[in-house]
Amino acid sequence: MSWTGNILRVNLTKGTCKAETLNNDWAQDYLGQRGLATKYLVEEVDAKVDALAPENKMIMATGPLTGTMASTGGRYSVITKSPLTNCVACSNSGGFIGAEIKNAGWDMIIFEGKSKKPVYLYLVNDKAELLPADDIWGTTVWHTDEWLHKQHQDPMLRIAAVGRSAEAGCLYAAIVNDMHRAAGRSGVGTVMASKNLKAIAVRGTKGIGNIKDPARFMAAVNAGKKVLADNAVTSQGLPTYGTQVLMNVINEMGALPANNMQDVQFEGAQNVSGEAMHEPRKSDGKPNLTTNAGCFGCTIACGRISTIDKGHFSVENKPEYWGNSGGLEYEAAWALGPDTGVDDIDALTYANFLCNEDGFDPISFGSTLAAAMELFGMGVITTKETNGMELKFGSADALVWAVEKMTTGEGFGKDLGLGSKRLCEKYGHPELSMTVKGQEFPAYDPRGIQGMGLAYATSNRGACHLRGYTVASEVLGIPEKTDPLVTEGKAGLVKAFQDATAAVDSSGLCLFTTFAWSLEDIAPQVDAACEGDWSAERLAEAGERIWNMERDFNLRAGLTGADDTLPKRLLKDAAKTGPAKGRVNDLDKMLPEYYEQRGWSNDGVPTPATRQRLGLA
C-alpha cells in the first residue's frame, strides 16, 4: 500500500507501453524511487553497458510518499547508467510531475530500447501512447512544454523534457520538468535523448487512496509539518533565501571554491548571494527575487522565482527573458558565479534560465567552463577555439557567450558539453578537472569542510553534495555540530548521512526536510502509509542496502577503490585564505576508516559478510 503496485514499461524500440505489477518483495527491501528503481536497473541492465546504447534503461520512479500530503512528498528520481561517470546515475527532482505520475497510477516508468524516430510519451492515467515528436525535436524544453500543453489542450498536463543540449550530446544534459525543476545531474537527459525520447507529458486524476492507516498518517504528516514550521532553517532561512542562504556563510568559512577551485574564497560572493537577490536593483527598483515557490506538497518552499534586469546586456532586446522563471539555487549560483569568477547576478540568472530552457546541469556546466577558463589563462585554449571570445575568469561576457553556445552544442559548446574531465583530457591537462569519477564538484571546498571530501570521494554518482551532506553537521550543526577542519569521526558521519539520504531519496520526500527532520520524523509517516513496519532503524538499513547495491553496480561497471579519490589540487594545494588556510583535504585519514565502517575490504569492495548482512548476496 501507498505504492500503486503498477509499473509502466515503455519499449521504445518496439513502440509499446505495457503495465506490469510491482515486485512487492523488492519494495519492502528498497522502499521506492532511488532504491527500488536502482534494484530494477541492476537486475535488468548489464553494468558494463554503454550508457548511450539502447541496452541502457532509464527509469522514472516515484516514492511511496510521492503524491501524498507528507510535506515535500512530490519527488521523483531518474535512474539509469550515467554517460558522464559510467556509474549508476540517480537524479532527484521536485516540481509536480512526480506526483502526477503517481496520480496517474504508476510507481515508475521504465524506458528501454531506442525509438527509430523522436517520440514523446503521452500518459493520461491508464492510457499510455508514444506519439511523434517531430514538431518538438530540436526545440527547447520551454517550447516543448508550451507545445504539448497546446497540442493536448490541457493546461494541467505535467511535462518533463530534454532540450537541445541533450540532443546535441552534452554529457551532463538534464531532464527538466515543470519548466524549471530538473533531474539535473549525471547526464540523465543525455540518456533520454539517446533513446529519441523528447518528453513525457502526464495527467493523473486517479489520486492516491491506499494509505495504510489514514488517520495515523495524517497525524504523522501534521507532526512533521509542525517540526518544519518550528525550525529556523526550514521555516525562515530556506523560504527567505533559498539554498542561497549558504553563499555568504560558506565563503566566510573559507570553503567557497573559486576560479576552478584554485581559491577557497570569492571576493564577489556577496554580490551573488541570497541576500543580494533581495536587494532592489537600480534600474527598476525590483529585486532579482520575485517570490519563493514550493514544489508539490512542500511546506518549506525554498524555490526561487526570479527576473533578470531588462536592461542587462544578456537580455537586451530579448523580451522572452523578461518574465519570471526559476532563479538561482546555491549550487548553480556557485558554479556559474564564484567558480568562474563572475559576480554579475543578472548574468548568472540568465545562464541559469538557459540551463533550464535547454536542459543542462548548471553545476557541471559552470565547473567545466571554469576549467576551460583556467586552460584559456594558460594559453592552452585560445581565441581560435572560442571564435574570438576571451574566456577569462570573472568575465560575464564569457559566461553569457558560453551558456548560449551550450544550448545547441555548437562550436565551443561542443567542447563544454564534454564535461570538465573530458575537456581537460582533450586539452592535455587532466589534473585541472575538478571532478570525481567524471562528475564535477558542487559548491563546498573539501579543504574547508573535511567531511565533504570523503563524501565526494565515495559518492556513488561522482562528486555530489546530495549523497552525504555533512555540511549539515560541519557547518549548520545538524543534527549536532562537528568541526569542519577535523577528520576524526567523519567516516562514521559520512556513512550515516549516506545511508539516511538513500532512504530519504527512496521515500518520495525531499532531502531538504532533513535540515529539520531525522529518520525518526520520517519513519512514522512511511510506517502509517506503507505496508510493513517501518522504523528509523529499518529505513537506515534500507539506505545502507541501497548504498551497497549502487556500489556493486559501479564495481561491476569497472570502477575500483582507486576511483574513491579527489583531484590533486584538493589533496596537495593548500587553501590560500580563510579559516582553512594551509589545509588540504586529508582524505587518506578518513577513507580506510570509512571502508572499515562500511564493511568493505581495503580496496573498497563490500565483503561477503556485509553482502550477507544486507541481503545482497
Among 1, 49, 53, 179, binds another protein (CB under 8 A): 179
Does 292 contact another protein by CB under 8 A? yes
Q: Are 237 and 245 in contact (CB under 8 A)?
A: yes
Backbone φ, ψ for residue 475 (5° rounding): -115, -50
**Min CB(209)–another protein separation in Å:** 3
Q: What is the DSSP string of 211-247?
A: -SSHHHHHHHHHHHHHHHHH-HIIIIIHHHHGGGGHH
Sole window of 291-299, 359-367, 516-524, 555-563 interacting with another protein (rule: CB under 8 A): 291-299
Total residues at the site for another protein (CB under 8 A)? 47
Residue (294 or 394) nearer to another protein, CB = 294
Closest CA to 456 of 473, 435, 472: 435
What is the nearest approach in angstroms of another protein to the Cβ of residue 511? 17
- Region near another protein per CB under 8 A, out of 252-260, 298-306, 376-384, 480-488: 298-306
Say if residues 340 and 397 touch (Cβ distance below 8 Å): no
Specify the residue, 11 or 324, whose C-beta has the smaller distance to another protein: 324
For another protein, the closer of residues 122 and 600 by Cβ is 122
CA distances from 551 to 26, 188, 216, 416, 460 (A): 18, 18, 36, 29, 6
Give the residue, chosen from 45, 51, 176, 298, that forms a contact with another protein under the rule CB under 8 A. 298
Q: In the complex, what is the shortest distance from the CB of residue 404 to another protein, in angstroms, rounded to a whole number?
A: 22
| Residue 324 binding another protein, by CB under 8 A | yes
Is 225 a residue that touches another protein (CB under 8 A)? yes
> Is the preceding peptide bond at 579 cis, omega within 30 degrees of 0?
no
Query: 269 is written with which cell numbers?
Result: 560572493
Considering the complex, state which of residue 72 and residue 420 has its C-beta at the smaller distance from another protein: 72
424 touches 447 (CB < 8 A) = no
Kindly report whether the peptide bond that precedes residue 479 is cis, defined as omega within 30 degrees of 0.
yes
- Binding residues among 155-174 for another protein as defined by CB under 8 A: 155-156
Which one, of 380, 382, 378, lies nearest residue 426 by Cα? Answer: 380
| Between 125 and 259, CB nearer to another protein | 125
Residue closest to 67 by CA, chosen among 168, 194, 171, 204: 204
Binding flag, residue 299, another protein (CB under 8 A): yes
- Closer to another protein by Cβ: residue 2 or 610: 2
Shortest separation between residue 155's beta carbon and another protein, angstroms: 5
Distance in angstroms (rounded) separating the CA atoms of residues 67 and 76 = 10
Query: Which listed residue (196, 244, 306, 506) binds another protein by CB under 8 A?
Result: 306
Q: What is the C-alpha to C-alpha distance for residues 189 and 183, in angstroms, rounded to an integer?
A: 8
Name the H helices within 486-535: 490-505, 519-529
Which residue in 99, 398, 436, 493 binds another protein (CB under 8 A)?
99
What is the nearest approach in angstroms of another protein to the Cβ of residue 104?
A: 10
Span interacting with another protein, options 169-177, 189-197, 318-326, 596-604, rule CB under 8 A? 318-326
Distance CA(77)–CA(510), nearest Å, equals 11
| Integer Cα distance of 593 and 527 in angstroms | 33
Q: Three cell numbers at 381?
A: 585554449
Q: Which three cell numbers stand for residue 455?
A: 563524501
Query: Using the rule CB under 8 A, which residue among 49, 53, 301, 380 binds another protein?
Result: 301
Amino acid letter at 337?
G
Q: How far is the CB of 125 from another protein (least distance, A)?
A: 10
Among 23, 26, 28, 206, binds another protein (CB under 8 A): 206
Burial class (CB in 10 A: 0-12, 13-18, 19+), 603: exposed
Contact by Cβ (8 Å): 365, 355: yes
Q: Which is nearer to another protein, 234 or 248 (CB)?
A: 234
Between 512 and 595, whose beta carbon lies closer to another protein?
512
Member of 132, 323, 428, 592 binding another protein (CB under 8 A)? 323
Cell numbers that stand for 338 in this block: 564564484
Amino acid identity of residue 126, one-letter, is: D
Q: Which is nearer to another protein, 226 or 481 (CB)?
A: 226
Closest CA to 410 of 386, 379, 439, 382: 386
CB of 496 to another protein, least distance (A): 29
Using CB under 8 A, pick the residue from 30, 76, 241, 296 that binds another protein. Answer: 296
Q: Is residue 28 involved in binding another protein (CB under 8 A)?
A: no
Window 129 to 158, contacts with another protein (CB under 8 A):
146, 149-156
Contact residue for another protein among 32, 184, 204, 468 (CB under 8 A):
204
Give me the least distance between CB of 244 and another protein, in Å please: 16
Widest CA span of the chain, in angstroms? 67
Return the C-alpha cell found at 280. 532592489
User: Pattern 229-258, binding to another protein, x per CB under 8 A?
Assistant: x---------x-------------------
d(CA 516, CA 106): 30
Q: Residue 231 CB, nearest distance to another protein (Å)?
A: 13
Please state, in angstroms and rounded to a whole number, the distance separating the CA atoms of residues 82 and 263.
Answer: 29
Site string for another protein, 37-76 (x = CB under 8 A): ------------------------------xxx-x-----
**What amino acid occupies position 415?**
D
- Closest C-alpha to 595, from 543, 540, 547, 533: 547
Q: How far is the CB of 348 from another protein (least distance, A)?
A: 17
Out of 38, 82, 91, 103, which residue is the one contacting another protein (CB under 8 A)?
103
Kindly state the smallest distance separating residue 30's Cβ from another protein, in Å.
23
- Rounded CA separation 382/376 (Å): 6
Note the residues at the interface with another protein (CB under 8 A): 67-69, 71, 96, 99, 103, 146, 149-156, 179, 203-209, 211, 218, 225, 229, 239, 290-299, 301, 303, 305-307, 323-325
